[in-house]
Chain A
């Protein structure tokens, strides 16, 4: 952080990425390496892992110990849950959602992927593309992560061979034709030795590309939000009980997509009433243009009946308003999905109930085959289902809008979140 500057820090961008890998492909080591080489590991943290490495009889400091959180994880040497890590370079601040790779933890991977701009997938150079690689890539594509970075790791163990790397890339390209991924990058690295992670490797002169850190700092994320379709879900209605603001009615929320300006003609869903945006503000400060993911308070030129869960949109660009639609889900609970079962459904800031009308098919996430006869949807399964809601939802397809195309299902008896859903 020697080149730290206050001014630079104020203008940094935020990039969220998820890491997925199998048990031994060096994911924790890679994260440890990113933190260590970007000088985000502090003396007291380093001391603690040095001590633990010694206790375990390791010769070198085990950087993977940095990412273990809970007691059970340290005892078993595994990652149980999504852990969040933070680091910053002068250009960007990074949030890593570190998710475990074993099959039973698909749900954690989906969780980490849901808010990510990029997914980092590790492939062991010696083993090539495995079932897990396909699974992780499929989840990244299902969750519409805009950028995918395939790190071919452990290049030191294959003599830094270009041939090995090219073979993995070709294998992956064949596989990814079935996937819906916009932007894919390939990097030959060694997390253990540090090749092409932060510093450019001298062991692979044949590789003309960038290091992982450079890529993370320069990925174009400016187009990751939808700035076209105006969607403003009303989260909270502000009505001050103070005499000086007696007539104030503010509609508070986070812009899901699109750009709003004072003077815009808007339509309120579900009432269909129209109004004009009077002000967009936060803490009394006027905002001339509001866009995702800003949290703002909007006032309108006239009194309209608006409550939490309503949506303010543009007159000429409205979302679908339906009570019955198809959703791709990842099931996340030990109790299987019940066809005909009723669940609570949450979409933006709106709560409703729904009934599961049909299971269209289940996806085998290792082969990506659709199975129309298997109707048993258990923990970590991915399926396309049809639901009917008690009231209409105002949504876009997930492909078009991650904020207005996503839902969760909640078990009404246990209150647990049982499924992540992407509206088709």
Chain B
């Protein structure tokens, strides 16, 4: 170590903590989106560090598609209790029941897109003026253009061509009534950074990130966890394989990878050798070339 020089993980940590503190200071009712995935777990950990010994001064918000991996929910509830955080859960099912969202049909049906409706309704109901998310710029090409403080109009929409310039670390969170911000503290992290940080800080993550046996549906080159939420196709192959998940989302669109990696360092070695991006396992991004950009413009994360 060079004296008076932070290594890159500590610099990313310092940057993320700065962004989280800035959000808490500039906004009246911030919230942190929590999905149960590793990025939101890391972000929550950073929020604890930012305000310690005080508790996290804003609620965690989980938009529940109803199609979660059960392991994720168990993990979520345990974590929230341990850190003494406030958790708000809003359900996509409620949006469907109220007629606010319509369930997709067919074998590729997913509630991924519907989440946007529930999310925007929740932000309005809770009067959230800044919603922090764990999205990273390295994940996807539309996300590469995101700001730390990303402005949303009163419809919750993103206008990529008309973003505020973000200079130095002078974050401008000024807004009009009804508008809100999306905030991305992990903007500059890569998948590898997140894993290395989990190891460095010994952060607990859900079991399904580690290798386990599972019944999967093999479809279009993606391994989907078999569940009652997926309508089967004739061409689907159902098999039991040794898998783990690189990302955790809705069960209908999160692909597994075949892997024997059962410890953090094995996962890290596997990612270092991997030749496919983590979103390569996501069915939701394969819908079209601009799938992410289109969803983001509409208010998705």
A interface residues (Cβ-Cβ under 8 A, vs B): 1-2, 4, 6, 9-14, 42-45, 48, 68-72, 80-86, 88, 92-93, 95, 107-108, 110-111, 114-115, 221-222, 225, 227, 235-236, 238-242, 245, 248, 250, 252-254, 259, 282-284, 289, 291, 293-295, 297, 308, 332, 344, 346-349, 402-403, 406-408, 410, 415-417, 420
Contact = CB atoms under 8 A, between A and B. Distances in A.
B145 A82 contact: yes
B6 interface: yes
A238 B273 CA distance: 42
Interface in B1-18: 1-2, 4-15, 17-18
B274 A42 contact: yes
Interface residues of B, number: 70
B87 to A, nearest CB: 18
Given A242-B55, A308-B25, A111 B165 contact: yes
B126 interface: no
A10 B7 contact: yes
Nearest to B144: A83
Given A347-B170, A417-B167, 7 more contacts: A6-B269, A10-B9, A111-B167, A289-B4, A293-B15, A294-B14, A417-B164
Nearest to B286: A44
A415 B164 CA distance: 9
Interface centre among A4, A14, A238, A347 (most CB of B within 10 A): A14
Contacts of A69: 141-142, 144-145, 293
Nearest to B221: A44
Interface stretch (B43-51, B206-214, B234-242): B43-51
Contact of B6 (A293, A308, A403, A417): A293
A44 B273 contact: no
Interface stretch (B30-38, B64-72, B171-179): B171-179
Contact of A420 (B6, B18, B167): B167
29 contacts: A1-B273, A6-B199, A6-B265, A9-B192, A10-B200, A12-B9, A43-B280, A45-B277, A69-B144, A80-B160, A82-B145, A85-B144, A93-B190, A114-B168, A115-B169, A235-B18, A236-B24, A238-B52, A238-B54, A241-B55, A252-B51, A253-B18, A289-B4, A295-B14, A297-B52, A332-B165, A415-B174, A417-B166, A417-B167
Contacts of A248: 53-54
B188 A245 contact: no
B292 to A, nearest CB: 10
Given A235-B22, A420-B165, A42 B142 contact: no
Contact of A1 (B24, B53, B272): B272
Contacts of A402: 168
B275 interface: yes
A232 to B, nearest CB: 13
B268 interface: yes
Contacts of A2: 273
Contacts of B8: 12-14, 92-93
A420 B280 CA distance: 38
A250 B18 CA distance: 15
Contacts of A95: 188
Contacts of A238: 51-54
B170 A406 contact: yes
A291 B2 CA distance: 13
B21 interface: yes
A81 B145 contact: yes
Nearest to B175: A415
Contacts of A347: 170
A61 B17 CA distance: 40
Nearest to A408: B170
Nearest to B48: A283
B18 A295 contact: yes
B9 A283 contact: no
A406 B190 contact: no
B25 A236 contact: yes
B277 A81 contact: no
A23 B43 CA distance: 38
Given A42-B276, A84-B188, A417 B168 contact: no
Contacts of B50: 236, 252, 295
Centre residue among B52, B55, B163, B169 by max chain A CB count within 10 A: B52
B196 interface: yes
A247 B108 CA distance: 56
B187 interface: yes
Lowest 5 CB-CB distances: which A-B pairs, in order? A14-B8, A240-B54, A44-B280, A4-B272, A415-B174
B277 A415 contact: no
B5 A222 contact: yes
Contacts of B188: 84, 86, 95
A346 B166 contact: no
B53 A239 contact: no
Contact of B174 (A4, A92, A252, A410): A410
Contact of B196 (A9, A108, A410, A420): A9
Given A68-B141, A227-B4, A245 B165 contact: no
Interface in B45-95: 48-55
A45 B11 CA distance: 28
A14 B25 contact: no
A42 B164 CA distance: 31
Nearest to B142: A69
B64 to A, nearest CB: 29
B137 interface: yes
B21 A282 contact: no
Nearest to A113: B167
B105 interface: no
Contacts of B24: 236
A9 B274 CA distance: 16
B168 A349 contact: no
Given A68-B141, A81-B161, A408-B170, A42 B187 contact: no
B138 interface: yes
B86 to A, nearest CB: 13
A310 to B, nearest CB: 13
